[in-house]
Amino acid sequence: MIRRLDPAKRIASLFLLPQCDMSCRFCASERDFSVMTYEQASALLHDLAALSIRNVVLGGGEPFLWPHDLERLSRLARGLGFLVQVCTNGVSLPPGFGGIDSIDRYLLPLESMDAGRHDALRRHRGGHQRLVLERIAALAGSGRELTVSTVVTRENVDDLARIATYLQRAAASGVALHAWHLYRFLPVGRGGSLHADRLDVRRAEYLRACAAIRTRDLGFRVYRRDDMLRSGSVEFFWYERGRMRTGSEALSPAGPA
């Protein structure tokens, strides 16, 4: 049971499983946490609702691979009063995903408007960028919101202006674009720790690129995320060997109790 939560933490992000159907070169996720059971996820949502959290992100790994019915969990979360977001790579989205009314917002990735560059960073058989663009277009007029994430690396730091222009056009075409998150690459996790030499971007270069984007009047919010693992407003939750863990606990100097 969660007894207390930092009042600044307004969003709860649930890592439902470590498995994913992609192999991204910058992946910051680890493989050593457990698949959350439906009962664990349900209890966690009830605890969060009691603590007045009203915004939840269902993630992974890839949440649409979760074996315990993601749509059922989203309906439970919606019934508890949450704004329900799903953080997905888009590969395993079900047919008619834009009509799932228990999901308020999808979080989808876009690393470059150059398909070769995007697909080199987000590796999936058959290519990934084309699929993401199709998923974004399918959300136009659906009633579902969209947040886009870009992991800024040395290989795509010069691509942000083109992505910004594309997103602005997508919003004009009817996509309910809520925000764009610019994450600085971190040399951690199952992918990032292996490719730091090629992907690590100098902080000054990252800051300049983000600042240039934020001077543009795009019509949607742009957030700079220097460290995706340390957020002032998001608390992360997952299970290891039957025990719930949180991001604040894992990152504290003393470590887990």
Q: Using alpha carbons, select from 114, 116, 124 the residue that is nearest to residue 166.
A: 114
**CA–CA gap between residue 188 and residue 197 (Å, rounded):** 12
Q: What are the tens digits of pLDDT across the range 80-133?
A: 999 999 999 999 999 999 999 999 999 999 999 999 999 999 999 889 999 999
- Rounded to an integer, the average pLDDT of 209-220 is 97
Determine how many CB atoms are found less than 10 A away from the CB of residue 101: 13
- Considering the entire predicted model, what is its pTM? 0.94
Cβ neighbours for 174, distance < 8 A, ≥ 6 positions apart: 140, 141
Percentage of the chain beyond pLDDT 90 is: 79
pLDDT at 251: 64
Mean pLDDT of 48-57: 94
Q: Which domains does the chain have, with CATH numbers?
A: 11-251 (3.20.20.70)
How confident is the model over 149-201, as pLDDT tens digits? 999 999 999 999 999 999 999 999 999 999 999 999 998 888 888 888 999 99
Nearest one of 229, 249, 230, 231 to 239, comparing CA atoms: 249
Torsion of CA 118, 123, 125, 127, to 10 degrees: -10
Mean pLDDT of the chain: 93
What's residue 30's pLDDT? 76
Helix axes 203-214 and 160-172, enclosed angle (nearest 10): 30
Nearest Cα to 235, choosing from 2, 4, 44, 11?
11
Cα→Cα distances 48→3, 79, 186, 200, 257, Å: 10, 13, 29, 36, 21
Number of helices (H) and strands (E) in the chain: give both, helices first. Answer: 9, 11
**Cα(106)–Cα(98) distance, rounded to whole angstroms?**
9
Contacts of 120 (CB under 8 A, 6+ apart): 25, 155
